[in-house]
Every structure is written in structure tokens, then in C-alpha cells.
Structure 1
Amino acid sequence: MRLIAYILLGLLTLLIQTQLFPFLIHQVWIPNLFLVWIVLIAAMHGRKTGLIMATIAGVIHDTIISNFFGLHIFPYLLVVYVVTVFRIHIYEEQWYISCITVAIATLLDSVIRIAILYAIHADIEIGTYMWHLVFPTIWVNGILAVFIHYLLWRMQEKEKYIW
């Protein structure tokens, strides 16, 4: 049952990320809902589930939304690895832990992406990129993490108490 719920949530996330956010937010940045889901699921369910989700979301993000392959899948996988290394220490029932974890993961994801762009000699102004794209995304992803934390926590509680 949980697998079906996650598949449906993934499809809903894809719809929101590709259709709703660009329609509602007319800025350079948009929240990265894929990253929020990946980080919280990795923190709750461990490395294997997180890496599977990161691979699927990274491939979807790179093929449907991004302009070249690898710009999202590689950072997603590294972020999941880092989150799961510190998983025992970071994830508890408190929503603010999830908010802080997602904010730090968003910053790490952005730094990895900047390193990739720098490595391929992309024309990127790091200060402007951080100020206009990364910092607003950190705040919004952190806020989204509160709501997604509540949803995932409720799903996890129901799983524990089902006979």
C-alpha cells in the first residue's frame, strides 16, 4: 500500500513541479519539490529508499525539466548519501529538524550544481546565482518541508499502528 501511495505522491509532485509552480511563481527560482521529498524520505526510510527515489527523481528532473542530463541526478544522489550518513542524528519527530535538514540539503545541492556548472565552464556568476536562485529556494524548500514532514509522519504513524 505504501508503494502505491508513494507512486501517486510522485506523480502529484511531478505535476506540481512541472505545471503548478511555473504557473504560480514568475521568478527566476522555483521550489524544488523533488529535493524536499527525496531528503525527507531518505531521512525517514534510509539510504536504499532514498537512493532509489533520488535516481528516479533525478532522471525525471533531468529529462523533463532540465536542459542537460546529470545536473540534478548527481547532486540528488550525493545529498541523499550525506543525509543518510547523519540520519540517526538529524531525524526526529520535530518539524523544525526536517525544515533545517531540507534547507541544508538544498544548499548542498546548489553547491554541487554550481561545481558541475563550473567544471563544464558554464558562464555563471556565482554570487548572483546564489542570491537570486539559491537563497530563495532554500527558504521555500524549508517551508515546504514542514508540510511534507507532517504528511510523511502521518503516513508513517499509520503504518506502525496497522495490525
Structure 2
Amino acid sequence: MRGRARRRRLCDGQADGGVAWRVAGDRRRRIHGRHEGADQGNAAMTNRLQPVRDFAATAPLAAWLGFSASGEDEIVFRLTFNEAHIGNPAIRALHGGVIAAFLELAMQADLAARTGGKVVAASVSIDYLSSSRPEDMTARVRLLREGRRLAFMEAEGRQADDTRLVAVARACFTLG
């Protein structure tokens, strides 16, 4: 017996497998219990915003980047422009490494706030979609998938009052 019929039989408590199914269900809830309450409005957002700010306060790179976070309904990360961020003085564009570091730090801070634990980047890829300007940049982060050991994130870097998409980053983080 496979699939839906087996699950139905086990959920109904038939045979000896019913208890194992419920135990497995409890285990599944316990593993993923950190997700509970994630979408409960401003209270959950305020609770997540402070750990993001605490994470940024401990990262020396965040201070150099001018990294900050704010938001009412969703956390918005901000890179405050500095002349040291210019990569090519001829075109006055932000250095690609600065953009990549900012987007990675935003994803890492958001994930650390969500999980409450240590997160380490396993892989990061970035696509530069347009040339950046010498101005502040904002980022919005999205959790794509979170497992027991790995989490996958995506971030969009925008300029010009969030109308111009400059870069998109994707990352895989180990949870620990």
C-alpha cells in the first residue's frame, strides 16, 4: 500500500502504524516550529527587525557598507552610498563586490534573524542587470526554502527609489 491510501490508513489510527505517523507528524512540526508566527503582522516584524539590527551591529563589514534595516510590513535593507564604494571612477558606478557583499549580508542577516542561529554562506551567485549609480541602494530578501541544514535565499538590489533593478543574488546557507 502506497501514497495517499497508506497515509489515510495511518492517520486514521488503523493498525500499529497510526502512532508512528502521529509521532512523525509531531517531529515534523518540532523541526519546523521556528516558522510558526512568521506571518503575524507587525509584532512578528518588530521581533525580526531587532535581531537583524543586532546582527548588523556585530559585523564590521556592515559598518563600512553603511548597512541598515528598517520597515513596517517588510524589512528593507539599505546600503548608504560612500565614495569608497565606487569601483570605476570613469563611469562612477558602485563596485560589483560592494553590491554582492551588501546583498549577501542582507540575506545572511535576515536568515539569522529568522532562525536565531548561526548561518554560513555555502554558495552565492549574483546577476548584475544594469549599471549602478553613485547613490544609496535598497534590498528586499525572500526566503525560497528552508530545510534542516540548508536554506535558500534570494535578494533584489534596487536604486532610484526602488524603480531600477540593479542586481539579483541567490544564495545557499548552512544552518548551524
Q: What is the TM-score with the length of structure 1 in the denominator?
A: 0.29
Q: Which has the higher helix share?
A: 1
> Higher relative contact order by CA 8 Å / sep ≥ 6: 1 or 2?
1
Structure number, greater radius of gyration: 2
Q: Which has the higher strand share?
A: 2
